[in-house]
């Protein structure tokens, strides 16, 4: 039976004196017992951070009975924090990975979204875009652009691990399909940072990090094109799957239908792999397997966890996110890809047991965000659900400006829940209360809007009685965040496209439980297994790993999850607010 630890629980340990230990050792020696086992390391030999993109907290409860390998081992042998959540509104990939890696919230680390409007450039910028960097393709494939962690305002746990261990003593490897995931987990300096380019199937890095010989070998030996023509079929008997085969409102990737099986052949069946094939591949379990094998190659080639210091390996599994966007959380595809990921993680842990030693490494698994149930699916239950049409929102704002003779267009950009105005417009609005009221009323009139806040209401993260306002404030970063920030109603995700043009079945990025609540699972060196019901945020992961590794992090938003650490004298978790009841 798994141990269940409630907030405030106290664990009493029986301690043996030095004399007791000596007598015990002498008795064992006289009994002819074998020589003692090797002493465990003073610190973990390897830290492995695993992020399953778009893995909601409820997936563990729903699907764990069908897991038999890696995910099952994490649940049964690890510390499972069941009440973990992001406390901010911008539940997006880049933000979540930055929060996990730094132990801070967006108001401190500066990553407010996957992309935002840059007021100086008067253009959208991605969270990893860097004009001073050049992306580099492996296996002779060319790529465009430049990426780095230059926009991240804090060092990551991996940065601190390298710095506080003299640089070369700690090796840092970060891999994902997404640049924003791999880069944000690694930080500003790393030995290996690799991601995937879906336009031509290239594995990619940046001039900031440099190419790695073992990735070059892997890219040549196992290109993504080798899965061309394969079919993703159900891993379990059809009767084992929950829900309906095809959710109402789901939008499959081009070339796929809404039900199994899914063939990986792209748009031009029978020809060479094209970009449509690589999109299919990235949304399939074959991509998860490729990431796992690349990680195993890193362990073997760089001898991770086998040196004098503590090494760092992270893998962000992006495919569940692509699957969830298309088919939604109530789909056979989500259930199946997690069953297959369970097997991949089982193989990874077996490799680490062999190379590093069982008990000599620590694993932290979590997610960057959850996902909204498909609105059309929710409508069948009678819920107030729909799509918040961003083009309509923008049009109503512009209409409100007309009566006050503002320049056209007055809106520079609407991205996520952020509204940016053209230069000088917001400053004028602040001086004209009637115009401000008209704009705010226009925003609130759009179907699906819950509330809207002015930037000055969120500065300095004021504590309020409004859960939505607190969530917006936790993600506000002056100079980057919008002039106005709005929140959708529950089950009303953003639709940025013209009618009939949307390419996804659902999305995320809101301050509600289905987006905020994700699992935290810790396993291995220094971890006390059990189920923990104390409130936790994803900013707690980095300080907890720092405590295990003897790394000092600057004061940030997260806390050490001391209740799950062996030998901790903590009498229980510190006070930390969980997701408000209104958001659950």
Instruction: Looking at the structure, tell me whether residues 397 and 366 fall in a common domain.
Output: no
Interatomic CA distance for residues 147 and 149, integer angstroms: 7
Look at residues 259, 322, 247 and name the one whose alpha carbon lies nearest to residue 507. Answer: 322
Residue 576 predicted with pLDDT over 80: no
Instruction: Looking at the structure, tell me whether residues 332 and 403 fall in a common domain.
Output: no
Residue 270 predicted with pLDDT over 70: no
The answer as to whether 225 is a domain residue is yes
The answer as to whether 5 is a domain residue is no
What is the average pLDDT score of the chain?
91
The answer as to whether 363 is a domain residue is yes
The separation between CA 523 and the C-alpha centre of its own chain, rounded to angstroms, equals 18
Give residue-wise pLDDT tens across range 476-488: 999 999 999 999 9
Question: Tell me, what's the pLDDT at 461?
Answer: 77
End-to-end CA distance of the chain: 28
Instruction: Looking at the structure, tell me whether residues 267 and 403 fall in a common domain.
Output: no
Instruction: Looking at the structure, tell me whether residues 348 and 401 fall in a common domain.
Output: no
**Confidence label for 567 from pLDDT (cuts 50, 70 and 90):** confident
**Confidence label for 272 from pLDDT (cuts 50, 70 and 90):** confident
**Confidence label for 417 from pLDDT (cuts 50, 70 and 90):** very high
Q: What is the CATH number of the domain that holds 574?
A: 3.40.720.10
Question: Tell me, what's the pLDDT at 22?
Answer: 33
Residue 20 predicted with pLDDT over 50: no
The answer as to whether 2 is a domain residue is no
Instruction: Looking at the structure, tell me whether residues 560 and 423 fall in a common domain.
Output: no
**Whole-number percent of the chain with pLDDT over 70:** 89
Cβ–Cβ under 8 Å, residues 277 and 263:
no
The answer as to whether 10 is a domain residue is no
Cβ–Cβ under 8 Å, residues 261 and 232:
yes
Cβ–Cβ under 8 Å, residues 274 and 94:
no
Give residue-wise pLDDT tens across range 352-383: 999 999 999 999 999 999 999 999 999 999 99
The Cβ-side half-sphere exposure at 103, using a 13 Å CA radius, reads 25
The contacts of residue 23 (CB under 8 Å, 6+ apart) are none
3-class SS string, 205-231: EECCCCCCHHHHHHHHHCCHHHHCCCE
Instruction: Looking at the structure, tell me whether residues 423 and 352 fall in a common domain.
Output: no
Report the domain count for the chain: 2
Interatomic CA distance for residues 390 and 495, integer angstroms: 6
Instruction: Looking at the structure, tell me whether residues 407 and 348 fall in a common domain.
Output: no
Interatomic CA distance for residues 324 and 71, integer angstroms: 19
Give residue-wise pLDDT tens across range 203-242: 999 999 999 999 999 999 999 999 999 999 999 999 999 9
Instruction: Looking at the structure, tell me whether residues 123 and 235 fall in a common domain.
Output: yes
Overall pTM surpassing 0.85 (yes/no): yes
Q: Which stretch of 162-166, 197-201, 270-274 has the lowest confidence by average pLDDT?
A: 270-274
The answer as to whether 507 is a domain residue is no
**Confidence label for 167 from pLDDT (cuts 50, 70 and 90):** low
Residue 463 predicted with pLDDT over 80: no
Give residue-wise pLDDT tens across range 25-58: 444 444 444 545 566 678 999 999 999 999 999 9
Choose the final residue of a domain: 495, 528, 547. Answer: 495
Average pLDDT over residues 427-455: 98
Domain that holds residue 333: 46-371+513-583
* Secondary structure (DSSP) of 469-525: HHHHHHT--TTTS-SEEEEEPTT--EE-S-TT----S----SSSHHHHB--EEEEET
> What phi and psi values does residue 174 have, to the nearest 5 degrees?
-135, 125
Interatomic CA distance for residues 114 and 151, integer angstroms: 11
Instruction: Looking at the structure, tell me whether residues 483 and 566 fall in a common domain.
Output: no
Give residue-wise pLDDT tens across range 136-164: 999 999 999 999 999 999 999 999 999 99
Long-range contacts from 463-471, C-beta under 8 angstroms, 24+ separation = 467/511, 467/579, 467/580, 467/582, 467/583, 468/89, 468/511, 470/87, 471/87, 471/88, 471/89, 471/511, 471/516
Q: What is the CATH number of the domain that holds 474?
A: 3.30.1360.150
Positive/negative CA dihedral, 344, 346, 351, 352: positive
Instruction: Looking at the structure, tell me whether residues 518 and 464 fall in a common domain.
Output: no
Q: Residue ranges of the alpha helices (H) in 166-284?
A: 179-186, 213-221, 275-282
Interatomic CA distance for residues 433 and 438, integer angstroms: 9
């Amino acid at each position: 039976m798994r141990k269940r630890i409630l907030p405030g629980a106290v664990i009493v340990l029986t301690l043996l004196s030095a004399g007791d230990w000596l007598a015990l050792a002498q008795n064992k020696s006289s009994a002819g017992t074998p020589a003692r086992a090797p002493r465990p390391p003073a610190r973990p030999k390897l830290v492995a951070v695993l992020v399953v993109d778009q893995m909601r907290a409820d997936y563990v409860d729903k699907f764990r009975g069908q897991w038999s390998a890696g995910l099952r081992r994490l649940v049964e042998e690890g510390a499972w924090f069941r009440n973990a959540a992001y406390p901010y509104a911008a539940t997006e990939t880049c933000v979540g990975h930055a929060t996990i890696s730094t132990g801070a919230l967006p108001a401190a680390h500066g990553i407010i979204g996957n992309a935002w409007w840059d007021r100086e450039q008067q253009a959208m910028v991605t969270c990893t875009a860097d004009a001073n960097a050049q992306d580099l393709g492996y296996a002779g494939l060319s790529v465009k652009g430049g990426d780095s962690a230059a926009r991240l305002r804090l060092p990551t746990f991996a940065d601190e691990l390298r710095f506080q261990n003299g640089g070369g003593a700690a090796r840092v490897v970060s891999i994902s399909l997404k640049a924003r995931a791999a880069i944000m987990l690694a930080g500003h300096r790393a030995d290996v940072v690799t991601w995937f380019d879906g336009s031509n199937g290239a594995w990619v890095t940046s001039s900031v990090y440099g190419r790695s010989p073992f990735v070059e070998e892997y890219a040549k030996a196992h290109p993504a094109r080798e899965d061309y023509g394969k079919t993703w079929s159900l891993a379990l008997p059809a009767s084992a799957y929950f829900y309906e085969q095809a959710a109402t409102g789901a939008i499959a990737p081009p070339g796929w239908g809404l039900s199994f099986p899914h063939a990986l052949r792209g748009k031009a069946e029978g020809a060479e792999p094209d970009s449509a094939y690589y999109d299919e591949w990235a949304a399939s379990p074959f991509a998860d397997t490729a990431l796992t094998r690349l990680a195993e190659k890193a362990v073997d080639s760089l001898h991770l966890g086998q040196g004098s210091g503590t090494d760092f390996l992270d893998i962000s599994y992006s495919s569940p996110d692509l699957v969830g966007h298309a088919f939604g959380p109530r789909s056979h595809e989500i259930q199946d890809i997690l069953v297959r990921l369970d097997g991949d993680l089982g193989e990874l842990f077996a490799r680490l047991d062999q190379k590093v030693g069982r008990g000599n490494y620590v694993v932290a698994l979590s997610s960057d965000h959850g996902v909204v149930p498909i609105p059309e699916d929710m409508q069948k239950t009678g819920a107030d659900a729909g799509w918040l049409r961003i083009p309509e929102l923008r049009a109503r704002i512009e209409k409100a400006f007309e009566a006050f003779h503002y320049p056209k267009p007055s809106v520079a950009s609407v991205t996520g829940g952020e509204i940016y105005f053209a230069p000088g417009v917001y400053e004028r609005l602040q001086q004209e209360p009637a115009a401000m009221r008209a704009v705010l009323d226009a925003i609130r009139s759009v179907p699906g809007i819950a509330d809207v806040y002015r930037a000055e209401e969120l500065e300095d993260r004021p504590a309020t009685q409004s859960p939505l306002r607190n969530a917006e404030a936790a993600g506000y970063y002056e100079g980057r965040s919008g002039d106005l920030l709005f929140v959708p109603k529950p089950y009303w995700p953003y639709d940025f496209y013209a009618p009939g043009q949307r390419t996804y079945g659902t999305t995320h990025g809101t301050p509600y439980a289905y987006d905020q609540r994700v699992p935290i699972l810790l396993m291995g060196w220094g971890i006390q297994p059990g189920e923990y019901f104390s409130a936790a945020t994803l900013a707690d992961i980095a300080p907890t790993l720092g405590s295990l590794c003897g790394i000092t992090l600057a004061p940030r938003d997260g806390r050490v999850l001391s209740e799950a650490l062996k030998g901790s004298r903590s009498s229980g978790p510190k006070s930390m607010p969980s997701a408000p009841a209104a958001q659950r």
